[in-house]
Amino acid sequence: MIRFLLVLSLCVAATLHAEEKRPNILWLIAEDFGPHLGCYGAKEVSTPVLDALAAKGMRFTRYYTTAPVCSASRSAFNTGMYQTTIGAHNHRSHRDDGFTLPAGVKVISERMREAGYFTANVKDLPPEAGFKGSGKTDWNFQGPAKPFDSANWDDLKQHQPFYAQLNFQETHRTFHAPPHADPAKVEIPPYYPDYEITRKDMAQYLDAATELDRKIGKVMELLKRDGLMENTVICFMGDHGAAHVRAKQFCYEEGLHTPLILSWPSALNPPAGYEAGKVSDRLLLSIDLTATTLGWAGIAKPEGMQGRVFMGANAEPPREYVFGARDRCDETVFRFRTVRDARYRYIRNFTPDRPFLQHNAYKEKQYPVWNLIKELAAQDKLTPAQASLAAPTMPEEELYDLQEDPHEIHNLAKSNSPEHRAARERLSSVLSEWIERTNDQGRIPEPEEVAKNEGRTKEAPPEKKGKPKKKKD
């Protein structure tokens, strides 16, 4: 009997030990990157590493950030809260004024550390990797004095379990990757003019995605070298949509839609809801990954966190709607709010008197197609879809049927169709309710002097006034 009880106690102890074993968690974050991978159907891009990761893991086709610009988006998914709720909605704001998060809100690395995780924002990689991480945080608030324990990859193996972020700047402008894509074969959305400038710019972006994939491959090699592949959850995503004219800083699909690929380690039992090799069309927000990551670490979702757990024993119901917002970006003031469901996207514009191509020094310097559209508009050489970007004002409301119009070029907000009217009214009501329920801080105007002083982007100096330089086709 004594021997039996001893064996039983050892079995119970072993079971408890297995249950207590927690995975390492690695977030791989691409800057300014939409779902432009081979596994998402993109052409003229070579992404074998991420395609393979998606094939063995899970790929999500409807994953959205809550903002189409880095600082607001990162402020959200690093806290699990809408940036509009925590006052972090204006791009590159609160850098020097001591602004802190509301009571009870913390960055994810703090919560992971409190639960016994070693945390890292990896910038320094071993020489064989051949590159460094960007180390980007870019939060619109004053974070903790030491948000991460380390910036060194080599610390991870010695400190497990770990939670780490590794940021990649390849797809952030200016692009500087080796050439791969053929400009003549790249796909150009109908709202961009099909000119040599456009094709070259798109090809360079896809080349950057190919280079990003190569570097992700180096990270996979490091995980294998250090014996970490079998017990590390890998999450690959973009911090917001692609670095193109109608994408970054705007609330269309192109600005908010990013890839999400998850790979669960083979040595650990997967959580409920994870199916290797599956492609999911579930609507997800980036703040949901925050809440779910905490769940993987055995941390209960904090009270008030707006992200939803989408995997594991405590998974919450799927979202019917996902929301997004854009406020001041650099020195350019807009205010957009958007909601989409499985079929439609609705956008409300609180600043409709302003043009889409409102002055923005960063875009005018870094985005050649931005200036091309202005030039062609002056020459009356744009299609209706392209000309809408050069109009002197913007619609107060926009509604798009993403099933029939994935490029969002046919605004149905004023359609007489009963179906479209019903969709607009429903989504408008849902958006209004969300603005109230989440205490949208964008309802409070930013002081003009603050916008001028804080808004000047560090990514591009102020441009001298004058007409954009004429470019050849």
Q: What is the pLDDT of residues 344-383, one digit of tens each?
A: 999 999 999 999 999 999 999 999 999 999 999 999 999 9
Any domain includes 421: yes
Last-in-domain residue among 280, 299, 318: 318
Any domain includes 202: yes
Residues in the chain: 473
Domain check: are 229 and 337 in the same one? no
3-state DSSP call for residue 168? strand
- Overall number of domains in the chain: 2
Q: Rg of the Cα trace of the chain?
A: 23
Any domain includes 12: no
Handedness of CA 40, 46, 50, 51 (dihedral sign): positive
Residue 468 in tokens: 């954009």
Handedness of CA 257, 53, 273, 41 (dihedral sign): positive
pLDDT at 457 over 70: no
pLDDT at 466 over 70: no
Domain check: are 34 and 125 in the same one? yes
Domain check: are 228 and 313 in the same one? yes
Q: Which of 100, 86, 140 is nearest to 450 (CA)?
A: 140
Query: Which CATH number goes with the domain that contains 301?
Result: 3.40.720.10
pLDDT of 21 reads: 87
Domain check: are 72 and 192 in the same one? yes
Handedness of CA 411, 413, 417, 419 (dihedral sign): positive
Beta bridge partners of 397: 348
Contact 112, 79 (CB under 8 A): no
The mean per-residue pLDDT over the stretch 181-186 comes to 98
Domain check: are 282 and 156 in the same one? yes
Percent of the chain exceeding pLDDT 90 equals 89
Residue 217 in tokens: 């491959």
Any domain includes 15: no
The mean per-residue pLDDT over the stretch 89-95 comes to 95
pLDDT digits (tens, 9 = 90+) for 221-280: 999 999 999 999 999 999 999 999 999 999 999 999 999 999 999 899 999 999 999 999
Contact 155, 252 (CB under 8 A): no
Domain check: are 278 and 343 in the same one? no
Any domain includes 355: yes
Domain check: are 306 and 355 in the same one? no
Any domain includes 4: no
pLDDT digits (tens, 9 = 90+) for 116-161: 999 999 999 999 999 999 999 999 999 999 999 999 999 999 999 9
Contact 76, 286 (CB under 8 A): yes
The mean per-residue pLDDT over the stretch 203-228 comes to 98
Strand pairing category for 284-285 and 344-349: unpaired
Domain check: are 70 and 217 in the same one? yes
**Which pTM value belongs to this model?**
0.92
Question: E-assigned strands of 306-432?
Answer: 322-326, 336-340, 344-349, 397-401
Domain check: are 414 and 270 in the same one? no
Domain check: are 309 and 197 in the same one? yes
Domain check: are 313 and 363 in the same one? no
Segments forming the whole domain that contains residue 389: 325-455
Produce one character per residue of 329-340: b if its CB has 16 or more CB atoms within 10 Å, e if not: bbbbbbbbbbbb
Any domain includes 471: no
Q: What's the start-to-end Cα distance of the chain, in Å?
A: 88
Domain check: are 292 and 232 in the same one? yes
Whole-angstrom Cα distance, residue 378 to residue 468? 12
Any domain includes 261: yes
Confidence of residue 454 (pLDDT cuts 50, 70, 90): low
Contact 200, 223 (CB under 8 A): no
pLDDT at 12 over 80: no
Q: How many H helices and E strands in the chain?
A: 12, 13
